[in-house]
Amino acid sequence: MPNRWRNVRATGKDPLLGTAAHRRNRKHWQRLRLPCAVRGRAIDYDGPNLINGRQNPRALVVGHIISRYEAMRMGWPESRINSLANTRPECRACSNKSGAQLGFKVQQANAKVKTGRTDRDRW
Ligand SMILES: [Zn+2]
């Protein structure tokens, strides 16, 4: 729902991450050890999350096939968003990339909504 997404944006924390379902999915993908679902490169399943204080670009990230943002807009319940069927293994590098793209799209959508007011303020 839009309200929850606003909360996510405000706090920078996603309430869907860190749940029991999320941990279960992560364990599942960790066991299967498949390559990254985005680019097919190997995932560093045993590696650390951080290397010298920087994110390990090959670390496992449990990605959502239908993004959480899209799923919430479609009114999916949390259980469906975080179901195993809606997740896939991704490496950190690909996950950050798709997240950044989604963030950009959301920003653009929000900018469109605000355009009228912004223009009046400016002109
Ligand atoms: Zn990848």
Q: How far is the CA of 7 from the centre of ligand 1 (A)?
A: 28
Reduce the secondary structure of the chain to three states and give it as a string.
CHHHHHHHHHHCCCCCCCCHHHHHHHHHHHHHCCCCCCCCCCCCCCCCCEECCEECCCCEEEEECCCHHHHHHCCCCHHHHCCHHHEEEEEHHHHHHHHHHHHHHHHHHHHHHHHHHHHHHHC
Q: How does residue 19 score in pLDDT terms, banded at 50, 70 and 90?
A: confident
- Give residue 98's pLDDT: 74
Q: pTM value?
A: 0.68
Q: How far is the CA of 122 from the centre of ligand 1 (A)?
A: 42
Q: How far is the CA of 59 from the centre of ligand 1 (A)?
A: 9
Q: How far is the CA of 11 from the centre of ligand 1 (A)?
A: 27
Task: Find where tokens 């190997």 sit.
Answer: 42
User: Residue 118 is encoded by which pair of tokens?
Assistant: 């912004």
Task: Find where tokens 């097919």 sit.
Answer: 40
Q: What is the mean pLDDT of residues 85-106?
A: 83
Q: Is the pLDDT of residue 86 over 60?
A: yes
Q: How far is the CA of 90 from the centre of ligand 1 (A)?
A: 5
> What is the Cβ-side half-sphere exposure of residue 64, based on CA atoms within 13 angstroms?
20
22 class by beta-carbon count within 10 Å (0-12 exposed, 13-18 middle, 19+ buried): middle
Considering the chain, what is the average pLDDT of its residues?
Answer: 81
For residues 89 and 63, the answer to whether their CB atoms sit within 8 Å is yes
Q: How far is the CA of 115 from the centre of ligand 1 (A)?
A: 35
